[in-house]
Structure 1
Amino acid sequence: MSISAGHLVVRQLEAHGVQRVYSVPGESFLDVLDGLHDSPITTVVARHEGGAGFMALAEARLTGTPGIAMVTRGPGAANAMISVHTAWQDATALVLFVGLIPVADRGRDSFQEFSLDGWFGTTAKRVMVLDDEHRAAELVAEAMHAASSGRPGPVVVGLPEDVLVRLTDSAPVAPRPVPAPVPGHAAVDELASRLAAAERPLVIAGGDGWAQDVDGRTTGATLAAWAEAAQVPVAADWRAYDAVPHTSPAWAGYLGYYRSDALADRMSEANLLVFVGCGRSDVPSDGYTRGFEADTVVVLPDPTAATHAGRIDQQIVATPASFTSALPAADAVRGTRGGGWMQTLAAEQLRFATPAAENPATGVDLSVAFGLLEEKLPADRTITYGAGNATLWGHRYLTHAGPGSLVGPRNGAMGVSVPAAVAASLIHPDRVAVAVCGDGDFLMNGQELAVAVAHGAAPLVIVVDNGVFATIVQHQEKHYPGRPSGTSMVNPGFAALIEAFGGHGEDVHATADVAAAIDRALQAVTARKVPALLHLRIDPATMPPSTAAPEATA
């Protein structure tokens, strides 16, 4: 029986088990939208293509399968570019379908025409165009495989509107398996020898893929249990804080922006660094200044190790799951170092993550506020972040019980927090999804709260408001002191805005009011099942907390 190419695209996505597609509709891919009409796939209609792309990014992070976004040609594709760049730098599997002009109109500067490869060719793993209706299923399968295999990343698929309506007798094809290279015995033995000889080893976990099952528990939990037994501390790469449970005695904290000074020093002191799922890039190494002298093992699915800088003494081609499945016995790698090294790092991280009042001149004390949030949130929650200084209190004080509980742009893209929290609430409706963002970040994609209301999702949004682009102000004060320029903002009443969507909103001006406001917001999202927003007003002079932990007290 004949089927249109557009409908076959949908059938192939169904064959891959896709649950949701995130889209801003366009006339260029109407036949795909028509195919979704009768599909079990949920079509989530976003209000901006950037929001749709970030929702798809969150889908990939939280489910381990490629996120799917669909946008139209020209302006739609331009708006979606930010999510492609994020997926590229973050190594997250994303497939962006872009409706295109008819084939006969190419090269004539027709309405919304652009070069798909010219725009995305340097920022995507693959750029593909459906020029043959009979290959629609095959092309989708190829895109899904390319996005997930090796170093995961974005794939862009162009869909000419005239090709989509052509009929074909082709059928869906079997999804292509994604290989997971397993370390050989020789590589494992070599790693065991390095670990046994190291007095100060440090594992640094990053990237995606930590929620996969290994021996009945997540990859992250398995690694943490092994590390505890082997007396090896585990730190996380920037915004990969959920890789291992923070309750583990091996948890040493995170590297990257506003990391603990103590952990940064320990990275410099380590004589063996084992990077798993990530590399020694500029952010965790403090701008290529730390950790370059240590014996270095890199575990990545990408044989080129393109994201790693500096020496590699041993390279293991593996995913986090396949590597963790092959770990050497803990008693074979302990050597003679004892537990002091691991215990020292864990104690330093505990001090760093314990809130201490900052006592700002006006407004809410964010250290106290995020300490209360950590205390009151259920353990089974998902935290999503945008970019900017406002997120740093969350990074420091909010913990993660396991993998698949964090979405944050490792490339520093603003506007991720709200659409990611909306997607998280759709993916895990029984979890509390919390978006942590600044006022600038919220207004980039805050409109996606309309999507939450439309689908019955109930995220909690924390908006930190100081009326400026604080990260840039911080740089200005360093390089151009006393000359603020182009960094101030005028904001609406965010609480009133979410109430206009039918949600619960509160304007919080004082630290003393935070605890009760959190209680009411959590009651709204868990019992009333409506989105909630807390508008935290802070002193404009507030800058990120010190990277030094409070002194230990007797």
Structure 2
Amino acid sequence: MIRTGGQIVVDQFSAEGVERVFCVPGESYLPVLDAFYDVRERIDLISCRHEGGAAMMAAASGQLSGMPGVAFVTRGPGATNASIAVHIAQQGSMPMVLCVGQVPRCDLGREAFQEIDLEAFFHPISKAVRQVDDVSAVAEAVMNGFDVARSGRRGPVVLIFPEDVLRASVESNVLKPQSPHNRELYPEAIAAIGHQLEKAQRPLLIVGGGYWTEESRERLHRFVDARQIPVYAAWRRLDIVDQNNPCYAGCLGLNTPEEAWERVARADCLLVIGARLDEPTTNSYQVPSVDRKGQILIHVYEDEAQIGRNFKPDIASPASIENIGVLFERLTPSIQYPRDDWCAGARVEFLSQERVLFDDSPLDLGRVMADLNKGVSTDAIVTVDAGNFTVWPQRYRRYSRPGRFLAPINGAMGYGFPAAIAASLAYPKRTVIGCAGDGGMLMTGMEMATAIKYGAKPIILVFNNCEYGTIAMHQQRTYPGREIGNDLTNPDFVALARSFGAFGLRVERTAEFSGALEQALAADTVALIELAMNSRTIE
């Protein structure tokens, strides 16, 4: 069949099972927009108010499903606006395909209108980037882009299409999607890991990774339960392990208590699965220590290039999360030394964090989180932005199953609201709670119009302390008495929400929250609850 490049792109999307594409329309990919018209009953085209919001929704979709979320933006300004989300997806191992229209091939290199070197721009922050300069290669490029995004360590792939390539026509067939390339553990690594765990007195497990299935999680639970191994979640991977499991010991990252870092350092066998040992997870690369006297480090990760990048392991093997269960099933639960006290001690330390819940502020966030836990089921999806306020939904809500917590690993502000919209569109019957600070909310808050238009119904909690609280905290610690640039002048968030047609309420006292939450749950539309607090409440 003879088709335009734009039609080939969209038909290949259909073949890949894409149900939703996020975009801001642009003239550089008009043939693609025209092709979407023909498949409008099969693929929802979600037109957003900013390319950053569109791409963040795509990244969140990928994080939720394990399959690539898709966004389409125009060249130059559109691509650069979307780049924050590409970085979010890269550091968060989120499968994503970002398609970008480009100037015609004949104008490349002439600083044409809105032209930038997109390959050079995206190369450092993406898993792969490719410019497609021949219409006959479009189908293969899209198929391969999806394959790369979802195989091994998932991540963002950027596909660039000059507009004349999208206009051109060629005889082309729809290509069958590729099966993901999942790495299996080295057999010799399984035996070595089993030997070290069997003789360890103080073993400890750190789990991470962008996407775990229910089956992988259940195998993990059986593994740690049988061996009494404390398990920590890597930075912002809070929903991998059931936090009600007695072996769960907490999350490593910012705001981790010192006793948790000390316990990781004391472990004689440290098994790391699915985590790349990034800066937050290792306390700025301090734990584990470089010399690791008396500690065996075992690293199992999807991307072989990441193994040994920050810490040289004693035993290592590449393996996809889908195949991690093989390790759990093959290792016999033989133990030479009792570990009950070691595991129980880690659990006690975790539970002690939750005891510092309540204070005498007019709006006590500890009690707010307690009321949220009572009012919203454990099946709800929680998304967060970046900032000090995130310690509350991260520490004081229990997560028990994969796909219930979405957060930007790279700490990008503005992610919480678009992620909540994407989650609500993907799971319209489930409750979605988005958490954002006042700073982050105004970075992507215009997407409320998108949520209203397409029927997304998340509940957004806006933690409003009228400042960039995290930076204010750092300034106060480093340069006492010289704080500058952090105070914010905010709109009336409730009036702003209502102006979009959303539901809005302001909560100033703790006792008001549970009622506000009940009204938001019953609103049957986007709902915003502004949590008004003083600037020191969330530091």
Normalised by the size of structure 2, how large is the TM-score?
Answer: 0.96
Q: Which amino acid aligns with 1:371?
A: A
Output the CA distance in 1 between the equivalents of 2:112 and 2:187: 58
Aligned twin of 1:536: 531
Output the CA distance in 1 between the equivalents of 2:84 and 2:517: 32
> Structure 2 residue aligned with 1:226, among 198, 223, 226?
223
1:51-200 equivalence runs, <5 A: 51-200=53-202
Encode CA deviations 1:49-102: one digit per residue, 9 max, x unaligned.
000111011001100001111100110011001011111222222111001111
1:374 Cα deviation after fit: 1.6
Output the CA distance in 2 between the equivalents of 1:153 and 1:306: 17
Aligned twin of 1:43: 45
Aligned twin of 1:305: 306
Aligned twin of 2:288: 291
Aligned twin of 1:345: 346
Output the CA distance in 2 between the equivalents of 1:444 and 1:435: 14
Encode CA deviations 1:128-170: one digit per residue, 9 max, x unaligned.
1121111111010111112222322211111111110111111
Q: Which amino acid aligns with 1:48?
A: H
Output the CA distance in 2 between the equivalents of 1:308 and 1:18: 34
Say which SS state the counterpart of residue 437 (structure 1) adopts.
strand
Say which SS state the counterpart of residue 502 (structure 1) adopts.
coil
Does structure 2 retain, via aligned residues, the 8 Å contact 1:354–1:397? no
Aligned twin of 2:393: 394
Output the CA distance in 2 between the equivalents of 1:344 and 1:48: 48
Say which SS state the counterpart of residue 121 (structure 1) adopts.
helix
Output the CA distance in 1 between the equivalents of 2:170 and 2:38: 19
Does structure 2 retain, via aligned residues, the 8 Å contact 1:418–1:461? yes
Does structure 1 retain, via aligned residues, the 8 Å contact 2:60–2:94? no
Q: Which amino acid aligns with 1:312?
A: P
Aligned twin of 1:373: 372
**Matched-pair identity in %:** 36
Output the CA distance in 1 between the equivalents of 2:275 and 2:231: 13
Does structure 1 retain, via aligned residues, the 8 Å contact 2:414–2:444? yes
Instruction: Summarize the Cα distance change of 1:307–1:329 in structure 2 as closer, same or farther, 3 Å threshold.
Output: closer
Query: Which deviates more, 155-164 or 319-328?
Result: 319-328
1:308 Cα deviation after fit: 4.5
Output the CA distance in 2 between the equivalents of 1:253 and 1:7: 48
The total of aligned residue pairs comes to 533
Say which SS state the counterpart of residue 462 (structure 2) adopts.
strand
Output the CA distance in 2 between the equivalents of 1:307 and 1:429: 42
Aligned twin of 2:495: 496
Say which SS state the counterpart of residue 190 (structure 2) adopts.
helix
Output the CA distance in 2 between the equivalents of 1:513 and 1:424: 27
Does structure 1 retain, via aligned residues, the 8 Å contact 2:417–2:444? yes
Say which SS state the counterpart of residue 89 (structure 2) adopts.
helix
Output the CA distance in 1 between the equivalents of 2:307 and 2:223: 28
1:468 Cα deviation after fit: 0.6
Output the CA distance in 2 between the equivalents of 1:252 and 1:331: 23
Encode CA deviations 1:428-454: one digit per residue, 9 max, x unaligned.
111111111110010000111111111
Output the CA distance in 1 between the equivalents of 2:30 and 2:355: 53
Aligned twin of 1:467: 466
Output the CA distance in 2 between the equivalents of 1:16 and 1:260: 44
Q: Which amino acid aligns with 1:411?
A: N
1:386-425 equivalence runs, <5 A: 386-425=385-424
Query: Which deviates more, 347-356 or 42-51?
Result: 347-356
Say which SS state the counterpart of residue 70 (structure 2) adopts.
strand
In structure 1, the gaps of 5 or more residues are 212-216, 545-554
Query: Which deviates more, 314-323 or 49-58?
Result: 314-323
Does structure 1 retain, via aligned residues, the 8 Å contact 2:48–2:450? yes
Output the CA distance in 1 between the equivalents of 2:514 and 2:171: 61
1:459 Cα deviation after fit: 0.1
Encode CA deviations 1:196-251: one digit per residue, 9 max, x unaligned.
1111111111121212xxxxx43123212321122112110111111112122221
Encode CA deviations 1:89-136: one digit per residue, 9 max, x unaligned.
222221110011111112222211111122112222222112111111
Aligned twin of 2:275: 278
In structure 2, the gaps of 5 or more residues are none
Output the CA distance in 1 between the equivalents of 2:432 and 2:276: 29
Query: Which deviates more, 154-163 or 461-470?
Result: 154-163
Q: Which amino acid aligns with 1:137?
A: A
1:310 Cα deviation after fit: 1.9
Aligned twin of 1:214: none
Say which SS state the counterpart of residue 122 (structure 1) adopts.
helix
Output the CA distance in 1 between the equivalents of 2:9 and 2:220: 38
Output the CA distance in 2 between the equivalents of 1:147 and 1:473: 37
1:530 Cα deviation after fit: 0.6
Does structure 2 retain, via aligned residues, the 8 Å contact 1:2–1:169? yes
1:307 Cα deviation after fit: 7.7
Does structure 1 retain, via aligned residues, the 8 Å contact 2:386–2:408? yes
Asked if 1:256 is matched to 2:257, the reply is no
Asked if 1:244 is matched to 2:246, the reply is no
Say which SS state the counterpart of residue 326 (structure 1) adopts.
helix
Aligned twin of 2:518: 519
Cα root mean square deviation, aligned: 1.5
Does structure 1 retain, via aligned residues, the 8 Å contact 2:66–2:150? no
Asked if 1:20 is matched to 2:15, the reply is no
Encode CA deviations 1:242-283: one digit per residue, 9 max, x unaligned.
111212222111000012333222112211111111122221
